[in-house]
Amino acid sequence: MTAEATWGAAPGPLAGEAADGGRPLRIALLTYKGNPFCGGQGVYVRHLSRELARLGHRVEVIGAQPYPVLDQEDGLPGEVSLTRLPSLDLYRQPDPFRTPKREEYRDWVDALEVATMWTGGFPEPLTFSLRARRHLAARRGEFDVVHDNQTLGYGLLGLERLGFPLVTTVHHPITVDRRLDLAAAEGWRRRASVRRWYGFTRMQKRVARRLPTVLTVSGSSRREITEDLGVRPERIHVVPIGADTRLFSPDPAVPEIPGRIVTTSSADVPLKGLVHLVEALAKVRTEHPEAHLVVVGKRPEKGPVAEAMERYGLGGAVEFVKGISDRELANLVRGAQIACVPSLYEGFSLPAAEAMATGTPLVATTGGAIPEVAGPDGRTCLAVEPADAGALAAALGRLLGDAELRARLGAAGRERVLRRFTWEQAARGTVEHYRAAVEARGPAATALH
């Protein structure tokens, strides 16, 4: 197994001073699934790494397939680079759950990856952590701190003994996804399959309890991490993430499309609540026939969402888009009359923050941390209970029929994001915990520099 650096060299000492007044740091940012088009973890890595470089730090993202997409900007005080740490990429399209050819196997970790997949489990958190540990062990002294992006694999235990202070981000416990998927599973075979797929959560619980510093993105996630993973509250620190407010901003030149509702659904899973939004749309169209939904995500060919669209005859009123650029996404949200987050649970909700940053009025559920982002009902959004299609329909219909309310909520929502949820604020808060982790090692840490 070899790691491939796509740009940049091994991080050497940095001169000068970072934006927070301290010494610039050399940061290894680990992510087992880093593509920003595959979910929030990739978005986190992309924007956090860029903002850390803007503050003057050197960030080396070490990731597996689908590889992270990073922002390379000229003139940054610091640096961002990518090192590819390849897996067997067993879930790649168009051949998911593939069996590798014999010549693809490199070592016992590859064999473990395939064996876990063959038995119905999800191997990537464990196998990536083992590869990352081996990679870091060969690079002692090259990083000031290692930041794990929710891998929570056994390979990360004991990194401090190799000279690496460790900080871990847990966006929300995957046990929440497991619980909701089990509740939606029909039949004992399906429930058994869900339990096996989420078998890695047992490892994540064990690892999380032994981590020195855990960052999370909301108070709701902090409570879930304590309750589900058993991490002591004093070791969990909330650092909210945010929107790219330079990109996601109001633009009067983008025309508003009457009746357009936009939502993001990165996966057709119960957690995202898309089926309830589709049901709500059917109700809304009885009074607002121009109402239609644009979903940023892949169109499901079967399952509850596909069945609901067919049942209510919504084939022409629901459009799915994927593979669009960031600017296209921003314009799509700007052109909508309403943005909606129908999730049953979110650890933060980047789509809510991004929609609010454009000045588009938001309808959102109260699932998980969404209220922490969206703010009070009637002031910065319209809030409804999760899994309530009737309440969603009422809120959507109310906004479609009230231009003044849309304008007021949109302006208040953007102001809330600018005050609380930007990536620069997230990076500065994260650096505080990097420095605390380095200082906690005392002489052992300073001896490395």
Q: Taking the CA atoms of the chain, what radius of gyration do you get in angstroms?
A: 22
Which residues 6+ apart lie within 8 Å of 130 measured at CB? 109, 112, 153, 154, 155
CATH homologous superfamily of 260-420: Glycogen Phosphorylase B; (3.40.50.2000)
Task: Find tokens 């390979």 and name the residue.
Answer: 155
**pLDDT score at 72:** 78
SS3 of residue 294 by DSSP:
strand
Domain ranges of the chain: 4-242+423-446, 260-420
Phi-psi region for residue 290, left (φ > 0), alpha (ψ -120 to 50) or beta? alpha
**pLDDT score at 449:** 41
260-420 shares the fold of 4-242+423-446: yes
Q: In the chain, how long is the greatest CA-to-CA distance?
A: 70
> How far apart are alpha carbons 408 and 387 in whole angstroms?
26
pLDDT in 10s for each residue of the chain, 449 residues: 556 655 444 455 566 788 888 999 999 999 998 776 666 788 899 999 999 999 999 999 999 999 999 987 777 888 999 999 999 999 998 899 999 999 999 999 999 999 999 999 999 999 999 999 999 999 999 999 999 999 999 999 999 899 999 999 999 999 999 998 999 899 999 999 999 999 999 999 999 999 999 999 999 999 999 999 999 999 999 999 999 999 999 999 999 999 999 999 876 788 899 999 999 999 999 999 999 999 999 999 899 999 999 999 998 999 999 989 999 999 999 999 999 999 999 999 999 999 999 999 999 999 999 999 999 999 999 999 999 999 999 999 999 999 999 999 999 999 999 999 999 999 999 999 999 999 997 654 444 44
> How far apart are alpha carbons 349 and 241 in whole angstroms?
9
Q: Give the strands of the sheet with 338-341, arranged side by side.
A: 318-321, 292-296, 260-264, 338-341, 362-365, 382-384
Confirm or reject CATH 3.20.20.150 for domain 4-242+423-446, answering yes or no. no
Which residues 6+ apart lie within 8 Å of 216 measured at CB? 169, 170, 171, 172, 222, 225, 236, 237, 238, 239, 347
Which residues 6+ apart lie within 8 Å of 108 measured at CB? none
Whether residue 30 contacts residue 60, with contact meaning beta carbons closer than 8 Å, is answered with no
Bridge partners of residue 362, in order along the sequence: 339
Which residues 6+ apart lie within 8 Å of 155 measured at CB? 126, 128, 129, 130, 131, 132, 133, 134
**pLDDT score at 315:** 86
> How far apart are alpha carbons 124 and 332 in whole angstroms?
33
Model pTM score:
0.88
